[in-house]
Every structure is written in structure tokens, then in C-alpha cells.
Chain A
């Protein structure tokens, strides 16, 4: 990691650190885990499934619809777990480095809380679903080789931020969805509460690093915008897991996935999911309008 080329990160984090301290809870005793999920209840909000708003949803039997909410909830929490594994390893390798010395106090809270989130997501999946979906493969020769070290550093924190903002869109909705089992609502609520601090931090560090990229070479900003746009699309596509369709007893999972991803109702849903992030990227000067 070429952090020497990056100027030390200075951020005003007193408020976020204070909130992390005063809101600290024991995740291992916080939740009251029922023995089973009520059989007729959806595991995630029906309007957040990947077929919502399409004829493909209407064509399912009620059993298949409930099964789809179950397996897409497991997919959603599995994506959370794998996303946290990635972001934790990146942050662990940076904490107490010279560049991050001034933000290490907050990074301790961040790493600790993320580990706890990973625990309760895994608990839910393993207790009630009996499994996690595996992480998607990644390539060593990655998609950022054409970027400068500081832009790559920005990409690390941008991926964390984008991942957290997409997840938070789901958590915020499901935290108050009365159709869900209590435990599913609770997990989403608690995660939403912690993530508001992580998103606030993520936006601050993103703005700092983007400033460093633009100062070094303004011509690199559109390249970062292009990467981020691809990453947004990639992140949305990971929600559409053919294994979840198969587990829900829906035939032709791969063809269904393609149809769903191309469906106008789903394009509109993707815009809603990404709206907050896109607005932030545009205001920051690195939105999709820069992509040729």
C-alpha cells in the first residue's frame, strides 16, 4: 500500500466518537432470538425483493414469494458479511499508519462495530436459513491499476461508503416494516443506527481523499467517476443472485436474472436505491455525468 504518497487525513470526528461511545451496546446479549421465524411472514420487505414491481413477482405462487423473501434476505445479509470482511481487512491494514493516525480513534469504533454487525447477520442466516451464500470471486489483477495511489486509496473508502449507503437504504425501510418478523426488523434497525455514523465518516474521508486526487491531477477525477459508476452497477447486480431464485424454487434462474435486471420497473428501483449516493457523488464533483 503506497500510503506515503497520501497526505495525513485530518477530520473533525469528536461528535461521531462521542456517539459511538455513548451508544455502545453488547450485540451478543441485545437480541432476543426466537427459535424459528413465523412461517407466513416475509423475511425481507416484499417491495425490496429483486422481482418487486414486475410481472415476474406476480407470476410466483405465494409460497414462492415467501421463499424468495427468505433467500433474498439470506443473500442480502451474506452480501453484508462479505462486504464487511473486505472493508474490515482494508481498514485494519491502515489503522495507526501515519496517514490515518489522526482518525485511528474512530477507526477502532468502526472495526469493532463492523465485526459485531457481521456476527448478528451471520447469526440470523445460520440460525434460520442454515447457510450463507458464498462471496463472489474477485481477481488479483484488479480494476484500479490505471489509477494513481491516492485515487486507489479513494476507491477503497468509496467502495466502503457505497456499500454502506446501499445497505442502509434497505435497513432504513425494513427497520419499520411491520410485516416482518420482529427479529428481522430489529437487526435492520440496529444496523441502520450504527451505519448513520459510518456513512457520515465515510463521506468525510471520501471528500478529503477526492480533494487530494483533484489537487494532484484534476484529469484523474473522470476516471474515478467511471470506476464508481461501474461499481454502483456491479453492487446492484450482486443483489440478483440466481442461487436465491433456485432455492426459492423458481425455474430458469439465470434467464430470470437477466430479465429482471433489464426490466424498466427494476431500473426505476435501482435509481431509488442509488439516489442518495448519486446525489452525493454529483455534489462532490465525481458523478456519472463525467463518464464519457
Chain B
């Protein structure tokens, strides 16, 4: 999860705090241009491939959702 946090914080230097419930998409912490790289990062971390035509955006909205869907752990751990 730290790698996921780092990815977002590196691209959002103005973001002082990254809440686990922050909507990463609506807040533009992850924009369209970064989204593809973000998916590749998750694929690399999980070893699981993500089909771009099948993905559900809600799985990517918050750190909590990402943790539950991809990392099988709570975001804070």
C-alpha cells in the first residue's frame, strides 16, 4: 500500500494528507493521464492483470477500495 500512496503523493505535491476515504478520481489526485500508469503499478504489485475493458472504476476510487479489491488488506496496514 505504501507504493500506492507514494505514486499518488509524488504526482500531487500539494496534497498534504492522503485519507483512505478520499475519492482519488473526483479529487483529480489520479487523472486520466496517470490512470494507465496507476493500473500498471497495481498489476505489478499484485501480479494480477487488469483488463482495461472490464475494470470497475469504483475499485479504484479510494485507498480503502483499492486495498480491499487488489491488496486484500486494510488501507492503513
Contact = CB atoms under 8 A, between A and B. Distances in A.
Interface of A: 134-139, 141-143, 145, 230-231, 233-234, 237-238, 242, 254-255, 257
A238 B36 contact: yes
B10 interface: no
B28 A137 contact: no
Interface residues of B, number: 19
B76 interface: no
B28 A255 contact: no
Given A237-B37, A242-B40, A254-B40, A139 B53 contact: no
B40 A138 contact: no
B36 A136 contact: yes
B74 to A, nearest CB: 25
A141 B61 CA distance: 12
Contact of A254 (B31, B44, B57): B44
22 contacts: A135-B52, A135-B53, A136-B35, A136-B36, A137-B39, A138-B32, A138-B35, A139-B30, A139-B31, A139-B35, A139-B57, A141-B25, A142-B32, A143-B28, A230-B33, A231-B33, A237-B36, A237-B37, A238-B36, A242-B40, A255-B44, A257-B40
Contact of A142 (B31, B40, B44, B55): B31
Contact of B35 (A135, A137, A230, A231): A137
A56 B69 CA distance: 33
Given A134-B52, A135-B52, A234 B36 contact: yes
Contacts, number: 47
Contacts of A136: 35-36, 52
A234 B52 contact: no
Nearest to B44: A254
Most buried by A among B26, B31, B43, B51: B31
A240 to B, nearest CB: 9
Contacts of A145: 28
A136 B37 CA distance: 10
Contacts of B57: 139
B30 to A, nearest CB: 8
A134 B51 contact: yes
A215 to B, nearest CB: 27
